[in-house]
Amino acid sequence: MSRKLDFSDLTPGLAILLGLLVVFFGLFLIYPLVYVFLNAFYTDGQFSVEFFSLMLQSPVQQRALLNSFELGIVTTILTTIISLPIAFVLVRYEFIGKGLLSGLMLVPMVMPPFVGAIGMKQMFARFGSINLLLMDLGFIDTPIDFFGGGGFWGVVILEALHLYPIMYLNIAAALANVDPSLEESARNVGASGFRLFRTVTFPLMLPGYFAGAIIVFIWAFTDLGTPLIFEFREVVAVQIFNMATDVHENPMGYALVVLVVIVTLVLFYLSKKFFGGRRYEMISRGHVVSSAHRATLAETVVIYAALLSIAGIALIPHFSVMLTSISDRWFMTVLPASYTGAYYSQIFDHDLTLLSIKNSLFLSVLSTVLDILIGVLIAYLLTRRRFPFKDMLDAVAMLPLALPGLVLAFGYIAGFSGTWLDVRISPFPLLVIAYAVRRLPYMVRAAYAGFQQMSVSLEEASMNMGAGPLKTLWKITMPLVMANLVAGAILSFSFAMLEVSDSLILAVKEQYYPITKAIYALMGRIADGSYMASAMGMLGMVLLACSLLATGRVLGKKMGELFKV
């Protein structure tokens, strides 16, 4: 029986390190949240729900709330419709090229929906390529409004196409763990087809599905960049974005941010309450035997046709962004009238784009260094040291994965107003901190995996030979876990380069714009804005794709653990 931890386990050095972590998380994670909550519930020093009352009575805020909930629900439903068949086919059937198709299903993840929205607008606008093609072929006489509802369906479709891989991965993992003997027993008593799926299979895979559904819903509910590009502004995220610049004159933003936090916490609470502690016992013990069976030739043809069709549709935004980036002119034609690579060179000559690239590189490098220092420290303490409240440190380090980016960004801009960290002076310090805090969980998980794989006996042997803890860490531990640290650093850096919410909210002056804020600004230029924005988007997509491939090669199957809350 293990000894209960108490404060006698704390050495002076360990206490100092934990104290520094408490200060860091207290200032840049807990304080912004507490500040927002206090200002949402307290008016003139007295507890009040006045802001929430005004929010619920305002027609604009009512529409924003309804639109955001509808956006989250419809996106989750559409994502489920796409993901379930994919997961069922790839888990339950064996066929030639299965690994290639499985990888192809994940490709849409490499383009942030913020960038994909540029391509979707070009392709599906009222006089975009799709409408013009249908009109040329004689299928329609007047353009179809694909983005009906003021852009609602454009946002839904794009987010579903981007997020279905996350849902698919969760569903596939849950489906693979279902004991086939339970399904066989149900078949023996007459259940089959959809009834078997509804009464046996789906209830057993419900925890995995619900985990994916929560991520998709929260992402759609709090996404800022995609609605902005589609000009679908009556949603909660855009309302918060608009109120961030005048937070002290219009405190309604506090109430909206608190609402987002409450929705997020309630969903995660429901997940833990109904599925987190529930055990779905299987009849068999140990490893569950795979229920996949070899597909016939006809089934293989149908599978390829279906999955390639889904992949083709999902890659339309990627194709459109790529095509736009090399277009010399693309207006009122199905395909560009002429092509050029000039916009790729222009982004390195144009003042705004070149400065934004330099800014993003500077901010991302600094935030990645901060992530490495803090992430390695946390992972080392969690795997190599005994101290009270270890689980609390782990939970706090993972908390940024559960918090939408706009929540922390709003807390930073409000909570540090009037201090030396005020974004009106320079947003760089808070941007570095925001990037680092948001991506810290990736670094912690990557380093944690490395420390777990390394035998403690190597460190003990070093210290037995006279090396101190710091020398052992530097000479023995770090070289052995370096691959994991590099993988975590690559992922942290690439996601920081393409961070949307923090960049849009915190970078208030053009001279401080990162890449994503520059892309948003370029979309307001009539002549060449969309072309240059697409070229920058393509560079970002290539960066993210390369980082995911590099991280996957190092971490393998453990890469999926980076994204678990």
- Quick: pLDDT tens for 408-423: 999 999 899 889 998 8
Q: How far apart are CA 277 and CA 268, in angstroms?
A: 13
Tell me if 248 is assigned to some domain: no
Q: What pLDDT, on a 0 to 100 scale, did the predictor assign at position 190? A: 67
Does the pLDDT value for residue 30 go beyond 90? Answer: yes
CATH number for the domain that contains residue 396: 1.10.3720.10
Among 37-41, 327-331, 392-396, which is the least confidently predicted range? 327-331
Tell me if 275 is assigned to some domain: no
Q: What pLDDT, on a 0 to 100 scale, did the predictor assign at position 286? A: 46
Total domains present in the chain: 1
285: pLDDT confidence band, cut at 50, 70 and 90? very low
From the number of C-beta atoms within 10 Å of its C-beta (0-12, 13-18, 19+), residue 315 rates as middle
Q: What is the arithmetic mean of pLDDT over 378-399?
A: 86
395: pLDDT confidence band, cut at 50, 70 and 90? confident
Does the pLDDT value for residue 352 go beyond 50? Answer: yes
- Give SS3 for 1: coil
At 500, give phi and psi (nearest 5°). Answer: -100, -60
Q: What is the arithmetic mean of pLDDT over 534-542?
A: 83
Tell me if 421 is assigned to some domain: yes
- Domain span at residue 543? 8-38+341-565
Tell me if 253 is assigned to some domain: no
Does the pLDDT value for residue 485 go beyond 60? Answer: yes
12 or 514, greater pLDDT:
514
Q: What is the arithmetic mean of pLDDT over 284-304?
A: 71
Computed over every residue of the chain, the mean pLDDT equals 81
Q: What is the arithmetic mean of pLDDT over 164-168?
A: 87
Tell me if 313 is assigned to some domain: no
Calculate the CA dihedral of residues 53, 258, 499, 244 and round it to 10 degrees.
50
Tell me if 212 is assigned to some domain: no
Q: H-type helices in 199-272, by residue range?
A: 202-222, 225-229, 236-243, 252-271
550 or 160, greater pLDDT:
160
Position 211, amino acid: A
Tell me if 412 is assigned to some domain: yes
Q: What pLDDT, on a 0 to 100 scale, did the predictor assign at position 1? A: 43
Sequence-distant (≥ 6) Cβ neighbours of residue 539 within 8 angstroms = 344, 347
From the number of C-beta atoms within 10 Å of its C-beta (0-12, 13-18, 19+), residue 232 rates as buried
- Is residue 218 within 8 A of residue 404, CB to CB? The reply is yes
pLDDT in tens, 328-348: 878 778 888 888 888 888 888
251: pLDDT confidence band, cut at 50, 70 and 90? confident
Q: What is the arithmetic mean of pLDDT over 190-210?
A: 74
Question: In the chain, what percentage of residues exceed pLDDT 90?
Answer: 16
Q: What is the arithmetic mean of pLDDT over 380-400?
A: 85
| Count, residues in the chain | 565
Q: What pLDDT, on a 0 to 100 scale, did the predictor assign at position 388? A: 81
Tell me if 375 is assigned to some domain: yes
| DSSP character string of 169-219 | HHHHHHHHTS-HHHHHHHHHTT--HHHHIIIIIHHHHHHHHHHHHHHHHHH
Q: What pLDDT, on a 0 to 100 scale, did the predictor assign at position 460? A: 67
